[in-house]
Amino acid sequence: MLAQEKEQKVPQQKAAYNVTVNAITIAVTVQDKKGRYVNDLGEKDFIVYENGERRTINYFQHDQSAPLSLTVLLDVSGSMALEDKFEDCRRALHVLAEKILAPQDELALLVFADGEVEVAARHSQDRSAFLAALDGEKAYGKTALHDAVAVSPQYAVRARNEKRALILITDGIENDSQSSAEQALEIARRVDVPIYVIGYKIPRAEEILARHKRRSGLTAMGIVETLNLFAEATGGKAFFLDDLESLLSTLYEIKKEQSHQYIIGYTSYKEDDKYRRIMVTTPGGNYRIRTRQGY
């Protein structure tokens, strides 16, 4: 609070205002028209807008060797046992831990099923803890996907490294959440963690969801639309895959993208808790820019 009303009233005293000063940090991915990552930009090449007003950049970092704190949010519900989905994911995550990530990167495992999100392995450079937790998991129960998306970014953002990301791996079936997709999105998009969504073997899940909606009369968003929204709003990306080879190549691609990201910071002054839109431009180049849409 910048000003506080005194007990004794003073004539013509101005009203007091609550102003919250926030240090906002955003991860920015820049690609050219051919999809190649652009790595030669400086602070002066970027312009940041919040609710249409230009903000002064007061922090800039582009270190391709900077360590990453990666959180894996893995769907371990019963539907993942179908079509070898869970076993494919387990094998791919072994490769992620053992070969894809750099030694200085941190890795954590969150799992969700039956309405619960569990921290199976905390952020650590020790891959053995992650792999032991992963190998101890079994697919069971219902899927509270929306609840997991609402909760997990708040855990991921507490990791120590400046570069942070969350990978959600799921078949997209939703049948147990207390939160709607819209409520989960509202929470996730306010947290400075890009969500990379891997929708694995979705077509079967879409069939199951369609039958469930016909029985219950639901008109919820489709799986692909929902997962795309989670990724786009947070500055991440969605991938829809059907085989182990594609799953492995996608994990490599996510790690590659993280190494090419720019980290940009600015100061925001808020007088309320309303959502703020963020836009980043590069006037000097015709690039595709991806970052979180607001907070």
- Residue 176 pLDDT: 83
Tell me the C-alpha distance between 107 and 47, whole Å. 32
Helix, strand or coil, per DSSP, at residue 170: strand
Topology (CATH level 3) of domain 20-62+263-290: Immunoglobulin-like (2.60.40)
Res. 242: pLDDT tops 70: yes
What would the mean pLDDT of 208-221 be, rounded to a whole number?
Answer: 53
pLDDT band at 12 (very low <50, low <70, confident <90, very high): very low
- Residue 10 pLDDT: 35
Tell me the C-alpha distance between 33 and 287, whole Å. 7
What would the mean pLDDT of 208-233 be, rounded to a whole number?
Answer: 71
Domain ranges (residues) in the chain: 20-62+263-290, 68-259
CB neighbour list of residue 291: distance below 8 Å, 6 or more residues apart: 26, 27, 28, 29, 235, 278, 280
Res. 87: pLDDT tops 80: yes
Res. 7: pLDDT tops 60: no
What would the mean pLDDT of 93-120 be, rounded to a whole number?
Answer: 97
Res. 257: pLDDT tops 90: yes
Cβ proximity of 28 and 47 under 8 Å: no
- Residue 115 pLDDT: 87
Tell me the C-alpha distance between 237 and 52, whole Å. 24
Neighbours of 263 (CB within 10 A): 18
Question: What predicted TM-score, i.e. pTM, was given to this entire model?
Answer: 0.88
Tell me the C-alpha distance between 246 and 257, whole Å. 16
Give the percent of the chain with pLDDT over 70: 87
Q: Count of alpha carbons within 13 Å of 194, Cβ hemisphere only? A: 28
Work out the mean pLDDT of the chain and round it to a whole number: 89
Give the helix/strand (H/E) hosting 20. strand 20-31
Return the sign of the alpha-carbon dihedral for residues 130, 136, 139, 143.
Answer: negative
Res. 83: pLDDT tops 60: yes
Let me know the angle formed at the C-alpha of 176 by 165 and 76, rounded to the nearest 5 degrees.
Answer: 50
- Residue 22 pLDDT: 86
pLDDT band at 285 (very low <50, low <70, confident <90, very high): confident
**Statement: 68-259 belongs to CATH 3.40.50.410:** yes
Res. 11: pLDDT tops 50: no
- Residue 25 pLDDT: 95
